Amino acid sequence: MTTLITNIQELLQVRDTNILKVSGKDMKQLPTIKNAYLLIDDDTIVGYGNMEDCKNIEADTVIDATGKVVLPTWCDSHTHLVYAGNREQEFVDRINGLSYEDIANRGGGILNSAEKLQQTSEDNLYEQSVKRLKAVMKLGTGAIEIKSGYGLTVEAELKMLRVIKRLKQDFPLKVKATLLAAHAVPKDYKDNKEGFVDLVINEMIPKVAKEQLATYIDVFCEKGYFDLIDTERILKAGKSHGLIPKIHVNQFNAFGGIEVAVNNQALSVDHLEELNESDIAMLKTGNTMPVALPSCSYFLSIPYTPGRQLIDAGLPLALASDYNPGSTPSGNMNFVVSTACIKMKLTPEEAINAATINGAYAMGISSMYGSITRGKKANIIITKAIPSYAFLPYAFGDNHIETVMINGQIV
């Protein structure tokens, strides 16, 4: 089955060579072809170019994209999409003056979500998650990483990861799973954090590895959650079982977590709302991808990741949604891209690079996703008729997507 998209106003993120990420000043460059065509064979991109070179190409299906922009689907490298219920009351509590930390200290936050999830059956949890996954696919997400971390018991963490596995099997988009058991200290271990860390290391990680339920190991490295020693222990234990490190770090405090991440060859460091010069210097010594979560900053009214500073230092940057019930109840990557431009001062080119090729790198999949490259998966967005690609982040309140294709099929 071949599909030919013709008369594309502008085809974005065209990479003839299969680069894995873009960094620094290169993020300002977004290679495009105007008046373009794109040829797809089954689930694979096989050709593209100027319409002048399209005259003799035949295909089973032809889509006219006159006035429209075509680009790769978003690669959302940080979500908590599998969760039970919601936390709208905490939203109201914050409006009334409580901070995220205040809510967590009185038993809300992650512990609230964990209690709901523990009481929810696997099938019910799956059905709730399916609705969210279908919604983000329609919004242009073609690859997604989903974390556990709202279980906080061996049984509930495994339940979350099995739901993620079912989503991976049942839906066409690329799904990567992360074990984030060290997301918070459960109530039963309130005065025995070390005991919970031991549980994660000695029971959860081995069971998850045995069932091959996750690719990555993650830790919420933050004051009041897991310190540098905890983080180091958990990441090393995960690595010993073949899990690749990622890390939640510098959301509220900068106290050395980035050094732990880089020293453990973490694939990504996510959040980074608080950042200092030594953190940036450390990031420049490794290949760890900084990931910003601007929707979280928007929702919690906390500082935005200094993406401009990271890029100007020559580093790469990825953007992700942080979709979760407490601090970002949205997986809309279009809003993420807009917010990065409006609040973090990224250019449209930088934001699109961050949400496509660099997002794919932060998931370990940029060899097959994140750009318009021959041989890569045909995961694409076709916009409605718009003046230019800068209109996507500019007109942030509208849905500019007309069609989403994943593996060459319209979803």
Give me the pLDDT at residue 254, please: 82
Give me the pLDDT at residue 283, please: 97
Mean pLDDT of 281-309: 96
DSSP one-letter string for 112-168: HHHHHHHTS-HHHHHHHHHHHHHHHHHTTEEEEEEE--S--SHHHHHHHHHHHHHHH
Token couple for 197: 């860390």
Residue recorded with tokens 């222990």: 233
- How open is the CA angle 173-31-52, to the nearest 5 degrees? 95
Residue boundaries of the structural domains of the chain = 2-72+371-410, 74-363
Please say whether the beta carbons of 196 and 189 come within 8 A: yes
Give me the pLDDT at residue 102, please: 82
99: pLDDT confidence band, cut at 50, 70 and 90? confident
100: pLDDT confidence band, cut at 50, 70 and 90? confident
225 marked as binding residue: no
Task: From residue 296, give the alpha-carbon distance in Å to each of 99, 112, 273.
Answer: 14, 18, 10
- Angle, helices 122-138/154-170, rounded to nearest 10 degrees: 40
388 marked as binding residue: no
CA pair distance 226, 44, nearest whole angstrom:
42
For CA atoms 329, 335, 337, 343, the dihedral sign is: negative
Environment class of 354 (CB within 10 Å of its CB; exposed 0-12, middle 13-18, buried 19+):
buried
112: pLDDT confidence band, cut at 50, 70 and 90? confident
80 marked as binding residue: yes
Please say whether the beta carbons of 361 and 318 come within 8 A: yes
Query: Which tens digits make up the pLDDT trace of 204-242?
Result: 999 999 999 999 999 999 998 999 999 999 999 999 999
297: pLDDT confidence band, cut at 50, 70 and 90? very high
271 marked as binding residue: no
322 marked as binding residue: yes
Phi/psi of residue 145, each to 5°? -105, 135
Query: Which tens digits make up the pLDDT trace of 181-210?
Result: 999 999 999 999 999 999 999 999 999 999
User: What share of the chain has pLDDT > 90, as a percent?
Assistant: 89
CA pair distance 355, 321, nearest whole angstrom:
10
Mean pLDDT of 52-75: 96
Task: Reply yes or no on whether the pLDDT at 56 is more than 90.
Answer: no
CA neighbor of 196 nearest in space, from 233, 164, 251, 249: 233
Mean pLDDT of 30-43: 98
Query: Which tens digits make up the pLDDT trace of 142-170?
Result: 999 999 999 999 999 999 999 999 999 99
Residues in Cβ contact with 102 at an 8 Å cutoff, skipping those fewer than 6 apart: none
Give me the pLDDT at residue 19, please: 93
Give me the pLDDT at residue 245, please: 98
Give me the pLDDT at residue 114, please: 87
How many CA atoms lie within 13 Å of 217's alpha carbon, on the beta-carbon side? 29
248 marked as binding residue: yes
Give me the pLDDT at residue 97, please: 86
Per-chain mean pLDDT for the chain? 95
Superfamily of domain 2-72+371-410: Urease, subunit C, domain 1 (2.30.40.10)
CA pair distance 312, 302, nearest whole angstrom:
22
Task: Reply yes or no on whether the pLDDT at 55 is more than 90.
Answer: no
241 marked as binding residue: no
Mean pLDDT of 98-127: 86
Phi/psi of residue 47, each to 5°? -165, 155
Residue recorded with tokens 């020693």: 229
Query: Which tens digits make up the pLDDT trace of 164-189?
Result: 999 999 999 999 999 999 999 999 99
Identity of the residue numbered 188: D
2-72+371-410 matches 74-363 in fold = no
DSSP one-letter string for 230-285: HHHHHHHHHHHTTPEEEEEE-SS--SSHHHHHHHTT-SEEEE-SS--HHHHHHHTT
Query: Which tens digits make up the pLDDT trace of 318-332?
Result: 999 999 999 999 999
136: pLDDT confidence band, cut at 50, 70 and 90? very high
Q: What is the pTM of this model?
A: 0.95
259: pLDDT confidence band, cut at 50, 70 and 90? very high
Superfamily of domain 74-363: Metal-dependent hydrolases (3.20.20.140)
- First CA to last CA across the chain, in angstroms? 16
Give me the pLDDT at residue 104, please: 77
